Amino acid sequence: MSYNFLFWIVRGIANTSTRNVLKRLINFHNVVFLAIMEPLVPPDPMMLYSRILGMDFKGANQNGKIWVFTVRGASFSISDDSEQILHGAPYSLSDAFAGAHYHGLCKVL
C-alpha cells in the first residue's frame, strides 16, 4: 500500500490563502501524512488547524516549528524531537491489522 506524504515549509499558516492552497494540495494528492515547517504561529490552536485541514494533529517539535498531521485512521509515533528535528514513524491502522480465517472440513457419517 502506498501513502502520500506532504512536507511544506509554509512560512505562516495563519494566512487564509496559504491554508486554501494547503487544503487543495491535501485533497488533490490524497495526502495521508502532512508535515508543516515554520507555521509561525504557536501549536496551541491545534484543534483549529485540525478542523480547517480535515486532518488529526499528531504533535509538534520542542519549539513548535514542525507540526505533523495525519488522516483519521493513520498515526504518527514521535520517538524524538528537538528544536531542529521531529523524528518518528508513520503507520496506518490498516497495515497493522491482520485477520485469521478458519476453514474446517466436516465428514458426514
Give the ranges where the chain is alpha helix by DSSP (H): 16-28, 46-53, 93-96
d(CA 43, CA 107): 64
Per run of 10 residues, the mean pLDDT along the chain (length 109 residues) is 86 91 95 92 81 91 91 87 84 52 48
Q: Count other C-beta atoms under 10 Å from residue 42's C-beta.
A: 10
Query: Is the pTM above the cut of 0.95?
Result: no
Which domains, from first to last, does the chain contain? 4-94 (3.30.110)
- pLDDT of the residue at 86: 85
Tell me, what DSSP letter sits at residue 54? T
